[in-house]
Amino acid sequence: MTIREAVNIIAARFPVELVTDHDNVGLIVGNYDDECKKISMAYELNENVVNEAVKRQVDLLITYHTPLFRPAKSFTTSTSHPNPLVEAARSRLNIFAIHTALDVVRDGLNFDLAARLGMKHLRFLSPLKDTLYKLVVFAPETHADQVRHAMAQAGAGKIGNYLECSFSVNGVGTFVPNDSASPFVGESGKLDHVEETKIEMVVEKHRLRGVLNAMSAVHPYEEVAYDLYPLKNEAVNLGFGVMGDLEPPLATKDFLSHLKETLELEFLKVSNISDRDVRKVALCAGSGYTFYNDAIRSGADIFITGDVKHHDFREAKSCPTVLVDATHQGTERFVTELMYRLIEKLFKGKVEVESIGQRLENALVF
Ligand SMILES: [Zn+2]
């Protein structure tokens, strides 16, 4: 397949389009028309990762962090200061950044970490808004199942853990084909009545194009009649952060020890060590302090993230929701493993998928 086809497969699974307003995700360097025979992944781009990917003849390298976040004025490289993006482009290595498109899905980074910590009844801490449409299509009764099935296969009708959700009602459709029409039923210039089924399904914004294409491909009408409504519902399948319950609850100290052990960290930064048991846990991997207020509102006993600032800790001292900084990289410790698992499943039998083991680069301690 081509890089474009591979990118389209990833974008239909992870909502790249939805997060592009605040994050630089998608194909960052490359040629959409290149052939894609091997996909690999890494936490973030550096000189060693580029060299390793080139050595392994990788065509598409998926990085978690985007390698191009701030606007750049130039792209230059030298032997003493190689620029990994320029080196990748020179070696025809295509780079795709996934970042928040992976964070916001139900089986993404935050849900994976929550499951590793033993949290139960997982739900989004901050569901995305304005990402849902209601698609209503009118099909002849004889073709209703076929149209409904094609839409579901393209990703319509997903509500939480329920797939292929739809509502249908039968009625009568009317139309008059004009002289230029080639109608599936009826004659030009004559009013026709057809037994039709009205099918309603929800569709997430990033799946809309694929669902409309799938619907049109199997619908028998020359002009497919459909309505598309933007919904005000919060997304059920997309959001930032995660909330979950501990069963049985743990003393704060015991939970913090469990967290340290799971993330293989030597220390955590904590706003206060409360006497209360931890029943509800909220977390957002990476730099997720922005979601601390959502955690407080949701009644979480503890909120885990990375990159918490000094003054944020000071303010949190008097707050019932314990604030924990488990470091940016600590909370993202398992992300490459997760990316491999999800991407390999996506391309199984189509493209070879492997992962580049990467030594993470921490700031040095002096
Ligand atoms: Zn990060």
**How close is the Cα of 202 to the center of ligand 1, in Å?**
31
**How close is the Cα of 64 to the center of ligand 1, in Å?**
8
**How close is the Cα of 314 to the center of ligand 1, in Å?**
23
**How close is the Cα of 65 to the center of ligand 1, in Å?**
6
**Predicted local distance difference test score (pLDDT) of residue 364:** 65
CA–CA distance, 289 with 309 (Å, rounded to integer)? 9
**How close is the Cα of 54 to the center of ligand 1, in Å?**
24
**How close is the Cα of 143 to the center of ligand 1, in Å?**
47
Neighbours of ion ligand 1 (CB under 5 A): 286
**How close is the Cα of 329 to the center of ligand 1, in Å?**
7
**How close is the Cα of 139 to the center of ligand 1, in Å?**
46
Digitized pLDDT (tens) for each residue of the chain, 366 residues in all: 999 999 999 998 898 888 777 789 999 999 999 999 999 999 999 999 999 999 999 999 999 999 988 888 888 888 888 899 999 999 999 999 999 999 999 999 999 999 999 999 999 999 998 889 999 999 999 999 999 999 999 999 998 888 999 999 999 999 999 888 888 888 888 899 999 999 999 999 888 989 999 999 999 999 999 999 999 998 888 999 999 999 999 999 999 999 999 999 999 999 988 888 999 999 999 999 999 999 999 999 999 999 999 999 999 998 999 999 999 999 999 999 999 999 999 999 999 999 887 666 666 667
| pTM, to two decimals | 0.82
CA–CA distance, 143 with 25 (Å, rounded to integer)? 39
Structure tokens at 11: 């974008």
**Cis, peptide link before residue 248, omega less than 30° from 0:** yes
**How close is the Cα of 108 to the center of ligand 1, in Å?**
13
**How close is the Cα of 40 to the center of ligand 1, in Å?**
19
**How close is the Cα of 123 to the center of ligand 1, in Å?**
21
Question: 281 in helix, strand or coil?
Answer: strand
Residues in the chain: 366
Contacts of 156 (CB under 8 A, 6+ apart): 135, 166, 201, 202, 203, 207, 211
Query: Tokens 């970042």 — which residue?
Result: 99
**How close is the Cα of 110 to the center of ligand 1, in Å?**
12
Domains, in order of start, for the chain: 3-102+334-353 (3.40.1390.30), 109-127+239-326 (3.40.1390.30), 132-230 (3.30.70.120)
Backbone angles phi, psi at 340, to 5 degrees: -60, -45
CA–CA distance, 8 with 231 (Å, rounded to integer)? 25
Q: Which residues of 263-273 are buried (b: 16+ CB within 10 A; e: fewer)?
A: beeeebebbee
Q: Say how many Å lie between the first and final Cα of the chain, rounded.
A: 48
CA–CA distance, 243 with 124 (Å, rounded to integer)? 6
Give strand pairing partners of 323. 303
